[in-house]
Chain A
C-alpha cells in the first residue's frame, strides 16, 4: 500500500510560491507526518501569540498537575470525616490556610482532592459527548440530504432545543447518584452542538475534489470518512471538545449542588453542596463556600479561553472578531 509518491505539495501553487521543490521522494506516511508536524507548528505559533489562551493553558496545566499529584499532596485520612483532626468550622489560619469544614477537614485538602473528580468528570463526559456528537455529525454530513441525514438531523435538533439541563437532572435522579451515571448523563445531554458543527463542516469537506478522487479510486464510505473527512474535520471537533469541557464541569456542579453527585466522591460541586447544607450561609463560613467556586470559575474560564483561541485558529472567519 505504501507506495513511493512524490510530494504533491510541490505541485500545488502554495508550495511553488515558496519556491520549494521535492528534495527527495517521501513515503506516504512520512509525507503525512511532515504535513501534520508543519501544521501543528503553525497552529501552535498562533496559539502562543494569544495571551488569554496561554494564561488559560497555564491554569489548566496547574490544575491538572494538582489533580494528578493529589494522592501525594493529601493523605486519605485528611479527608475522612471520621479521622479528621482539625477544629471544626475554623476560619483560615497558619495551620489551615483555607480553614476547615464541619468535620474539621482542611478545606484546602478537600479542594485538592476535589480537583480530581471535577476534572475527571469534565474530561470523560466531554470525550463521551464528542464521540457521540462527532459520529452523528460525520455520518449525517457525509450522507447529507439522504434519509439518514434527516433522522440524525432531527435527533440533533431535538437535543438542541429540549431543556437539556432539566433532562440531565431528571436522568440523574432516575439512574441514581454514581460517578458513572453523572458522566453518562452529561455526555448524553451535551453532544448536540458538536454534532451540528461537525455536520456543517463535513458537508463542506465532502464537496472537495479529493473526496471525489478517493471515491473514484474505489475507497469505501468508511475509509473516506475515517481517512479523508475526519482529518479535515478534526480541528473543529477538537476546538468544540475543549469548549464542551466547560459545559461538563458546570453541569457536574449543578448536579452536585442538587445532591445528584456521587456521595462517595468529593468534587468541587459537592464541597459547595456540603457547605451550603451545613448552613455556612447562616453561620458565615465563607472560607468553606468560596474556594471551590473560584476553582470552578478558573478552570471553566481557562478552558473557554483556550477553546475560543482554537476556534479562531481553525476557523479563519472568526479571526477578525477579537
Chain B
C-alpha cells in the first residue's frame, strides 16, 4: 500500500549515507598533510599497524581507487585504527557507545516529554502567566550554551553542595559490576544539562502548533458537540498539533549528539563525546572520521524511521 513511499524514503536514506561517506572521505583529505605522512608521524603506532592501515585503505594508490577502497572498507565495518593508541576503531567505539546512548536517550526523552507537555499547556492557554513564563524560560534556556550550563551545575551540585559525583560513569572500579543507583547518580547532572539545554525548542514548537490548531474548524465543532475543554484538547487538538514536534524530536537526535560532545567533556562521561574530545586533543583523525560517520548514521536511521512512521500517522503526506 505505502510501498512506493517507503521505497522512496529508503532511497533518500541511502543517498544521504553515500553523501556522508563521500564528504567524510574528502574531509579527511583536505586537512594539512597527507594521511600517510600523518600516520608515519604518529610515534605510538607500530610498523605493523602502520602497514596494516596503509594496505587496508590503499593509501599509496591513486585517489579514485582510494575512494572505492574506502567505501568498501567502511561498508564492511573496517574503520581503521586510532593513530594514537593503535586500537581498532570499531572496538574503541563499541566500548563507548552505550554510555552515550544512555545519556542522549535520557536527555532527549526528558526534554521532549516535558517540553511537549509544557508546550501543550502553554499554547492552549495562551497569554496566561504560565504561558508567558514558560515561553520566556524556554527562550532563556535556548540562549544558554549547554557546556557552560553543565559547568555551573557541576560547580553548584557536585562541587559546592556535593550532592552528586563530580564526573565519570560510575564510582566502582575494576571487576565489580557498576550498580544501577551509582550510574543513575552519575547520570543525573549530565542528563539534566542536556534536558535543560534542549527543552526550549520543544516548548516553542509544540506551543506554536497548539496555537495554530486552536482556531481550526474541527475544534469549534468539537466544542459545539459539547465536549469539555480537556476532551477537546486531548482528543482533537494534541493529536493534530503533535506532528511538527514529532519531526523535531527525531531531528534533535542530530544536534543533541553535538551537544553531548561538550556535556560529556564537562562531566568526563566516558561515551563517544569524550572519545571525540580526546581525539581532537590528540589530532586522531581516523577516530574523528568514524565519530562523524557514526553520528550521521544515527541521524539517517532516525529520520528514516520518522519518515515511515509519519506516513502512517498522517496519510496525507504520501501525496506530497
Give the B-binding residues of A (Cβ under 8 A): 154, 158, 160-171, 173-176, 246, 250, 253-254, 257-260, 269, 272, 276, 280-282, 284, 286, 289-290, 292-293, 296-297, 300-301, 304-305, 320-321
List 30 interface pairs A-B (beta carbons < 8 Å), by A numbering. A158-B19, A161-B299, A162-B299, A163-B254, A164-B255, A164-B258, A165-B257, A165-B258, A166-B257, A166-B261, A167-B292, A173-B285, A173-B288, A174-B30, A175-B30, A176-B32, A250-B143, A257-B145, A276-B266, A281-B159, A281-B166, A284-B155, A293-B144, A293-B152, A297-B144, A300-B144, A301-B140, A301-B143, A304-B143, A305-B139
Interface size class of B (residues with CB under 8 A): 35 or more
The answer for the CA separation of A154 and B11 in the assembled complex, in Å, is 12
CB pair A304–B255 under 8 Å, yes or no, is no
**Across-interface contacts of A260 in B (CB, < 8 A):** 280
**Across-interface contacts of A257 in B (CB, < 8 A):** 145, 147-148, 262, 265-266
The answer for the CA separation of A290 and B16 in the assembled complex, in Å, is 41
**Across-interface contacts of A158 in B (CB, < 8 A):** 16, 19
CB pair A173–B283 under 8 Å, yes or no, is yes
**Across-interface contacts of A301 in B (CB, < 8 A):** 139-140, 143
Give the nearest-CB partner of A290 in chain B: B152
**Across-interface contacts of B285 in A (CB, < 8 A):** 173-174
CB pair A253–B159 under 8 Å, yes or no, is no
CB pair B159–A272 under 8 Å, yes or no, is no
Give the nearest-CB partner of B16 in chain A: A158
Q: Give the shortest distance, in Å, between B111 (CB) and chain A (any CB).
A: 16
CB pair B280–A169 under 8 Å, yes or no, is yes
The answer for the CA separation of A173 and B283 in the assembled complex, in Å, is 7
Say whether chain B's binding surface is mostly helix, strand, loop, or mixed: helix
B18-47 contacts to A, CB under 8 A, are: 19-20, 27-28, 30-32
Say whether chain A's binding surface is mostly helix, strand, loop, or mixed: helix
CB pair A289–B288 under 8 Å, yes or no, is no
CB pair A293–B261 under 8 Å, yes or no, is no
CB pair B255–A163 under 8 Å, yes or no, is yes
CB pair B254–A293 under 8 Å, yes or no, is no
**Across-interface contacts of B277 in A (CB, < 8 A):** 258
The answer for the CA separation of A293 and B148 in the assembled complex, in Å, is 6
CB pair B303–A161 under 8 Å, yes or no, is yes
Pick the residue among A167, A175, A254, A286 that contacts B262 (CB under 8 A). Answer: A254
CB pair B303–A166 under 8 Å, yes or no, is no
**Across-interface contacts of B93 in A (CB, < 8 A):** none
The answer for the CA separation of A290 and B152 in the assembled complex, in Å, is 8
The answer for the CA separation of A269 and B300 in the assembled complex, in Å, is 31
Q: Give the shortest distance, in Å, between A108 (CB) and chain B (any CB).
A: 18
The answer for the CA separation of A196 and B211 in the assembled complex, in Å, is 23
Q: Give the shortest distance, in Å, between B251 (CB) and chain A (any CB).
A: 7
The answer for the CA separation of A175 and B262 in the assembled complex, in Å, is 19
Closest 9 CB pairs of A and B: A165-B258, A300-B143, A163-B254, A293-B148, A174-B31, A257-B147, A301-B143, A253-B145, A163-B295
The answer for the CA separation of A246 and B27 in the assembled complex, in Å, is 26
The answer for the CA separation of A176 and B285 in the assembled complex, in Å, is 12
The answer for the CA separation of A169 and B261 in the assembled complex, in Å, is 9
**Across-interface contacts of B149 in A (CB, < 8 A):** 293
Count the A-B residue pairs with Cβ separation under 8 angstroms: how many? 144
CB pair B211–A161 under 8 Å, yes or no, is no
Q: Known A163-B255, A170-B292, A173-B280; judge A154-B148 contact (CB<8 A).
A: no
Is B110 located at the chain interface by the 8 A CB criterion?
no
CB pair B291–A258 under 8 Å, yes or no, is no
Is B67 located at the chain interface by the 8 A CB criterion?
no
**Across-interface contacts of B30 in A (CB, < 8 A):** 174-175
B204-242 contacts to A, CB under 8 A, are: 208, 211
Most buried by A among B151, B154, B158: B151
Q: Known A174-B28, A301-B139; judge A281-B259 contact (CB<8 A).
A: no
**Across-interface contacts of B176 in A (CB, < 8 A):** none
Most buried by B among A158, A170, A258, A286: A170
Q: Give the shortest distance, in Å, between B37 (CB) and chain A (any CB).
A: 15
Pick the residue among B145, B281, B300 that contacts A254 (CB under 8 A). Answer: B145
Give the nearest-CB partner of B279 in chain A: A173
Q: Give the shortest distance, in Å, between A201 (CB) and chain B (any CB).
A: 19
Give the nearest-CB partner of A297 in chain B: B143
Give the nearest-CB partner of B266 in chain A: A276
**Across-interface contacts of B155 in A (CB, < 8 A):** 280-281, 284, 286, 289
Q: Give the shortest distance, in Å, between A203 (CB) and chain B (any CB).
A: 14
Pick the residue among A154, A258, A259, A321 that contacts B15 (CB under 8 A). Answer: A154
Give the nearest-CB partner of A254 in chain B: B262
CB pair B152–A161 under 8 Å, yes or no, is no
Q: Give the shortest distance, in Å, between A193 (CB) and chain B (any CB).
A: 11
**Across-interface contacts of A169 in B (CB, < 8 A):** 258, 261, 276, 280
CB pair A166–B295 under 8 Å, yes or no, is yes
**Across-interface contacts of B28 in A (CB, < 8 A):** 174
The answer for the CA separation of A274 and B288 in the assembled complex, in Å, is 24
CB pair A304–B257 under 8 Å, yes or no, is no
**Across-interface contacts of B31 in A (CB, < 8 A):** 174-175
Q: Give the shortest distance, in Å, between B297 (CB) and chain A (any CB).
A: 10
CB pair B140–A166 under 8 Å, yes or no, is no
The answer for the CA separation of A76 and B19 in the assembled complex, in Å, is 46
Q: Give the shortest distance, in Å, between B245 (CB) and chain A (any CB).
A: 16
The answer for the CA separation of A168 and B291 in the assembled complex, in Å, is 12
The answer for the CA separation of A154 and B31 in the assembled complex, in Å, is 26
The answer for the CA separation of A69 and B312 in the assembled complex, in Å, is 58
The answer for the CA separation of A282 and B295 in the assembled complex, in Å, is 33
